[in-house]
Structures are given as C-alpha cells and as structure tokens.
Copies of this chain bind each other. A is one copy, B any other.
C-alpha cells in the first residue's frame, strides 16, 4: 500500500470501529487488524490515539458536509423540498444500518466532550458548521415564503440538529426508525408549517 492508502485505510477502519464500539473501546490492535495494516506503522501516521481519533472525526465531518451541501443546494428543488429530501435520505441511511450505530458526532459528544477539550472543541465546531448550513437553507425557505418567517433561522437550525440527534439516539434504543419518522412528522407538519390563514 502507498503511504496515502495506508493512512486512508486506517482512518476508514477507525470510523467503522468507533461507530461500533465508541472511542475508548476501540483498541489500536483492532483498528490495525480491521485496516489490514501491520503493527508498528500506526505511529508513523499519527502522533497519538487522540490525534488519530480527531482525524477520524474530521474525515467523518467532511464527508457529512459534502452530503449536506449536495442535498441543501440541489438544483431544481425549493429550499423546503431540499431539506425534506436530505432528512428522508438520512432516515433511509440509518434504516439500512438498522439504526444501530447512530451518528459519530452524537456518540463522541456523549463519550468524549467531558473528558477531552480537544474533542469537545472540535465537536462544537463541527456542529456549528452544520447549524450554519441548515440555517442558510431555512433562511432561504423563509424568504421564499415556504415556512413561517417569525422564527430566527439560526435558532431553528440549532433546534433542528439537536432534535435530530435526540431522535437518532432514541432510534438506537428502540431499534427502529419510528423516532425519526416522528421527528419528520412534527417538524414538517408543525414547526415548519405555515398556517393556512396567514402567518406572523
């Protein structure tokens, strides 16, 4: 394997193992084994397990940013349609994984935010960047008259993301997408719904 391939294989194995077991239970041996990379080469690529963990997290966040940008800027759909298509796609993705692994950012927030300032600040920045993307789309939807104009788009985006994380967490416990479907239903039929009689 080339240097770049080996590094990518390690990061990809880290993503899978972190999602299945969390960070603390992801032994380096297991990750090396999953990546098919010989022992001893790990520290050639990463300073420490924390450095590795942060790079796995960054790679996950970049991948998800690309998904968000693809859906939330998709041509030919209104802002509200784009938001709905994104959320449906995320539901389907979690369904295909039997809702088992949840979201790496939610999982690591619970596991690491209290114990590592490096993880905490990185997780905070990642969520902030996601909130920004949702807020832009929600603002567009307000300007297009698709959703009520009375709510602050940034507050709504924060609320959206946190509520989604909560629904993903619950989906892990009930092992079904029912909490995600309830999220979709209440969000689109209540929070984002314009009254037929006009709106504030």
Task: Tell me, in angstroms, the Cα distance from A163 to B185 when the chains sit together.
Answer: 13
Task: Tell me, in angstroms, the Cα distance from A149 to B198 when the chains sit together.
Answer: 18
Binds B, one of A3-11, A38-46, A48-56, A108-116: A108-116
Task: Tell me, in angstroms, the Cα distance from A91 to B168 when the chains sit together.
Answer: 22
A107-B110, A111-B22, A173-B124 known; A159 vs B148 contact (CB < 8 Å): no
B111 touches A174 (CB 8 A): no
A151 touches B106 (CB 8 A): no
Q: Which residues of B contact A200 (CB under 8 A)?
A: 196
Q: Can you identify 17 A-B contacts, CB atoms within 8 angstroms?
A: A100-B114, A106-B110, A106-B166, A106-B169, A109-B172, A110-B110, A151-B186, A151-B190, A158-B182, A159-B163, A162-B170, A162-B179, A162-B182, A165-B166, A169-B169, A186-B191, A197-B197
B111 touches A172 (CB 8 A): no
A166-B164, A191-B190, A197-B195 known; A173 vs B113 contact (CB < 8 Å): yes
Q: How many residues of A contact B (CB 8 A)?
A: 51
A97-138 CB contact bits vs B (8 Å, 1 = yes)? 000111000110111011000001001100100000000000
Q: Which residues of B contact A161 (CB under 8 A)?
A: 166, 170
Task: Tell me, in angstroms, the Cα distance from A185 to B162 when the chains sit together.
Answer: 14
Q: Is A71 an interface residue (CB 8 A)?
A: no
